[in-house]
Structure 1
Amino acid sequence: MGPIVTLLKQRFVFFGLIFVFLPCSMYILISSTDITGEKAAMKRLVKLQLRVEEFSKKYRAKEEEVEILSHHLSLLYDSGKLSAKTRTLLRKRTHRMRVPSTYHFQPHLLRASSLRPAFAISKDRYGVSMALGIPSVKRHVRNYLLTTLRNILNGMSESEKNDTVIIVFVAETRKKVLYSIINKIVEHFEKELNCGLVELVSPPASYYPEMSRLRLTLGDTEERVRWRTKQNLDFAFLMMYAQEKAKFYVHLEDDVIAVPHFVTTMKNVALERIKRKKPWFVLDFCQLGMIGKMFRAADLSWIVQFFFMFHNDQPADWLLQHLINIKSCSYDYTPEQCSKAEQKQWIRYTPSFFQHIGKNSSLKGKIQNLEVNDFGSSGWNANHSKLITV
């Protein structure tokens, strides 16, 4: 009886273990599948949300085209060149209030060629995740553009290059100066231009208003007012050009260097915030000026319109701060409440992904020794898990 009882006990223990562990294993397996499925669903949800923003952006662009036609029609109506019968007909069919648009602040842009690039080298790369915008002009002492481009490209993986477009906006209308800059870029980055990774674009002279008629503001000299006003308009043109090309836009300058693989990390940070439904307007990866500021492409219209309205009043980074303040703060907020509200829209991260290397400004005679202290500390590379919100 002893061996039989022992055998029965062993079988009982064996089946008992199966009875306990099999359901547990199935539960773990099902839970794992549920988690994987949930992650995939969230990823699809984020992509769909970005698609909706993209379609909304295109719809607004079409509305803008209709507004342009309406504005031209109004100018024709006011010119007095139409017959009385035609004027009566138009008045009956178009009798409605007109919403102010960009053209009320920049009427010279109604000229057909004002918003078309005067020069472009492009392979029409669209639908990528990231557009990097680099505005550049002639500098009187030293040009840093080639160094900046080479540093950024050397720090990108092949997958990053395939999902990014780098737009170099050469903000020069003088042909001799323009072609000297373009020829240097073509000479050093022909491969990147041919595959569509790098694009070159420049504005027409008709894009700019009459610069001799600008108001002197902030106690600045006429030369400095022209310089920062033109810079605001340059940034606006670059953002308009980049808006249709990617889901996200990162504003850089032509005198910076970057940590390797910043593109992937910045994209992941943005997607993570979208997935968790955390609000943001600016993701800031450098504490200097406009460098390293990341936006949804769909939100660039806010900035462009704001720059157009106040292009003559303040520098671009100040205008961006004002825009965030308007979007975030109530008039009855205390300074502390306002600061907290702004921090939900303008998310600042450290360490910095970018370092400013330009000592000689594009403003003649201006020296700027501006650097961030936490760039590349201890050989640090772009890493999502090591980012800290300031």
Structure 2
Amino acid sequence: MKCSLWKLSITIVTMVFSILCFIQENPFDTTSFLSLEEKKMVAWQRARMQTSPGRTNYLETFKEMQKNSELLKSMNASIFLGAPPVTKKLLTIGISMVPPPQDYHLVDTLQSLFFASTSSEQKHFIVLVHLAGLDPTRLDQMTSSLTVFFEPYLQARQLVVINTPLQSYLQKNGTDTPAHVAFYSKQNMDYAILMNFATNHSDYFLMIKDAVKCTPGFVTHIASTVSALKNKLWVTLEFSQLGFTGKLFRTKDLPQFVHFLLLFYQEMTCDCLLAHFHDLVQQEPIQFFPPLFRPIGNYSSFSGNFGNLKEKEFEENGTSSPSNPKASIYTNLKVANGSAVTSAYSLDKNFFSVREAEVGSHLTVVLDIPAEIFRVQVLTGSDLRENRLEEGQVELGYDSTNLVTDCDDYVLLGLLVDGTLNKEVLSCRSGKKVKCVRLLVTATSPSKVIIRNINLWVN
């Protein structure tokens, strides 16, 4: 078996590099109108299509090859601060720091990450930071910052920092390498080292960049999403479209992807390699909106440039209007004088006013006919951002006992962020029909609350 795997692996690598050499030596090839980078992409596609169609075997090949990766063995990463957890966690959040010339965003990102998660959520994850190839001065500066700001998390084994010495990288690339190639080659190696270290500490691995803000409750969002997709085949789930940020893996898949990165680390960026890797099993990207991670400023990691990193998913989706099928509205919220609960579900500019929202109270929309809902939007507060419901969550209900005014089975869709939820519904892909949409208050509001809109999009 091992012999056949090695034969297949040698065939794959030989195909790729022989085709690349042919492209560079034959300028009148039929793909000569393409750029060199595009030619490499075509070469990779050709090689992939000529390999065995057994995709599982293909991934197993990478798993076998990873055990003998000389490049990975030569990258001497070691624990620099903190210590791994004693017990296995649900999630490892990985950050590979790319130092810009003037400023650092790692501290901001870590603060956002821990502040956006509750103490109960923090029990289920660790943060793994890779300080990749820093010079001694920068390494000392970063060590001081992390120790000052995050000592409790280091002591609690919730934050682990690893370091790869700069000289480990200097041996890998010649000085004549173009700047952009040298950058993404090193970045691919950074990611490979980080993921290789993370393999045994949790069930899932989440990659984020070192210049992002995290949405409050992001851990619960991810956990509920993974639970909803437990019977679905996937390689990566995407909670952001900012390059490699917000990509979730099963840790059991990391060894294959690590070696995949190291096989082609000089050929293309990590984003492109990931697209090719998950195409072996997962035909289409699985993306979720709105994003859980947003950029700090407009920072671009390559060369410290600032540019427009705004994701298309940040913009309001105004391509279609909500459907809001016929439904009955039920609530035990304390209604303000003269306000009608149906205004929360109407498609006009009316709103529902609540004089007091106590923890555990709810507003529930019960559809006359269960429907396949693909998007839910909940807006609270006035146009001036006053009277928002700061602590609440939205749940979807499924009925099996034909209750008239409620459902007997609810699942969490998401938490309100700044009084708002705007989220795609996973169950629509399985054809599962929703009967109830419930807005649940999770902490008593100190003042009046306005529920402006509950909008539903139905297939």
Name the TM-score, length of structure 2 as normaliser. 0.53
The separation in 1 between residues aligned to 2:393 and 2:183, in whole angstroms, is 33
Alignment partner of 2:126: what SS? strand
Contact 1:117 1:202 in 2 (8 A): yes
Aligned pairs for 1:92-111 (under 5 A) are 101-102=65-66, 107-111=70-74
Quote how far apart the aligned CAs of 1:142 are. 2.1
The separation in 2 between residues aligned to 1:234 and 1:257, in whole angstroms, is 21
The separation in 2 between residues aligned to 1:146 and 1:306, in whole angstroms, is 30
CA 1:259–1:282 in 2, change beyond 3 Å: closer, same or farther?
same
Quote how far apart the aligned CAs of 1:309 are. 0.4
Alignment partner of 2:85: what SS? coil
The separation in 2 between residues aligned to 1:205 and 1:165, in whole angstroms, is 25
Contact 1:356 1:372 in 2 (8 A): no
Quote how far apart the aligned CAs of 1:257 are. 0.6
CA 1:368–1:122 in 2, change beyond 3 Å: closer, same or farther?
farther
The separation in 1 between residues aligned to 2:210 and 2:218, in whole angstroms, is 17
The code of the aligned residue for 1:359 comes to N
Quote how far apart the aligned CAs of 1:302 are. 1.9
The separation in 1 between residues aligned to 2:233 and 2:94, in whole angstroms, is 23
Alignment partner of 1:189: what SS? helix
The separation in 1 between residues aligned to 2:201 and 2:224, in whole angstroms, is 19
The C-alpha deviation readout for 1:222-246, integer Å capped at 9, x for no partner, is 1111111100010111111111111
2:226 is aligned with 1:270? yes
Partner of 2:109: 148
Higher relative contact order (CA 8 A, sep 6+): 1
Which one has a larger percent helix, Structure 1 or Structure 2? 1
Partner of 1:45: none
Q: Which segment is superposed worse, 173-182 or 359-368?
A: 359-368
Partner of 2:165: 204
Partner of 2:186: 230
Which of 293, 299, 304 is the matching residue for 1:354? 293
Quote how far apart the aligned CAs of 1:199 are. 1.3
CA 1:108–1:365 in 2, change beyond 3 Å: closer, same or farther?
closer
Quote how far apart the aligned CAs of 1:350 are. 0.9
The separation in 1 between residues aligned to 2:281 and 2:100, in whole angstroms, is 36
Partner of 2:212: 256
Quote how far apart the aligned CAs of 1:214 are. 7.9
Aligned pairs for 1:240-255 (under 5 A) are 240-255=196-211
The code of the aligned residue for 1:301 comes to P
Partner of 1:326: 280
Contact 2:205 2:250 in 1 (8 A): yes
CA 1:205–1:215 in 2, change beyond 3 Å: closer, same or farther?
same
The code of the aligned residue for 2:263 comes to M
CA 1:126–1:242 in 2, change beyond 3 Å: closer, same or farther?
farther
Which of 191, 195, 219 is the matching residue for 1:239? 195
CA 1:153–1:227 in 2, change beyond 3 Å: closer, same or farther?
same
The separation in 2 between residues aligned to 1:370 and 1:356, in whole angstroms, is 7
Which of 308, 313, 322 is the matching residue for 2:267? 313
Name the TM-score, length of structure 1 as normaliser. 0.62
Which of 363, 366, 376 is the matching residue for 2:302? 363
2:116 is aligned with 1:176? no
Contact 1:123 1:194 in 2 (8 A): no
Contact 2:199 2:251 in 1 (8 A): yes
The C-alpha deviation readout for 1:235-282, integer Å capped at 9, x for no partner, is 1111111111110110001000111111112012112211xx211111
Contact 1:261 1:382 in 2 (8 A): no
Gaps of 5+ in 2: 1-62, 317-378, 381-389, 395-411, 414-422, 430-459
Contact 1:256 1:354 in 2 (8 A): yes
Alignment partner of 1:213: what SS? coil
The separation in 2 between residues aligned to 1:237 and 1:213, in whole angstroms, is 20
The separation in 2 between residues aligned to 1:199 and 1:257, in whole angstroms, is 20
Contact 1:265 1:382 in 2 (8 A): no
The separation in 2 between residues aligned to 1:100 and 1:245, in whole angstroms, is 21
The code of the aligned residue for 2:215 comes to V
The separation in 2 between residues aligned to 1:202 and 1:284, in whole angstroms, is 27
Aligned pairs for 1:115-194 (under 5 A) are 115-117=76-78, 119-194=80-155
Which of 233, 243, 262 is the matching residue for 1:279? 233
Alignment partner of 1:185: what SS? helix
Which one has a larger percent strand, Structure 1 or Structure 2? 2
The separation in 2 between residues aligned to 1:183 and 1:382, in whole angstroms, is 38
Gaps of 5+ in 1: 1-98, 217-221, 329-341
The code of the aligned residue for 1:213 comes to G
CA 1:382–1:249 in 2, change beyond 3 Å: closer, same or farther?
farther
The code of the aligned residue for 1:294 comes to L
Contact 1:108 1:206 in 2 (8 A): no
The separation in 2 between residues aligned to 1:144 and 1:229, in whole angstroms, is 22
The C-alpha deviation readout for 1:34-74, integer Å capped at 9, x for no partner, is xxxxxxxxxxxxxxxxxxxxxxxxxxxxxxxxxxxxxxxxx
Alignment partner of 1:254: what SS? coil
CA root-mean-square deviation: 2.8
Contact 1:117 1:203 in 2 (8 A): yes
Aligned pairs for 1:58-73 (under 5 A) are none
CA 1:108–1:134 in 2, change beyond 3 Å: closer, same or farther?
closer
Contact 1:257 1:356 in 2 (8 A): yes
Alignment partner of 1:368: what SS? coil
Which of 353, 363, 372 is the matching residue for 2:311? 372
Quote how far apart the aligned CAs of 1:180 are. 1.0
Contact 1:283 1:347 in 2 (8 A): yes
The C-alpha deviation readout for 1:299-346, integer Å capped at 9, x for no partner, is 111211110000001110110001122335xxxxxxxxxxxxx12xx3
The separation in 2 between residues aligned to 1:382 and 1:324, in whole angstroms, is 32
The code of the aligned residue for 2:125 comes to T
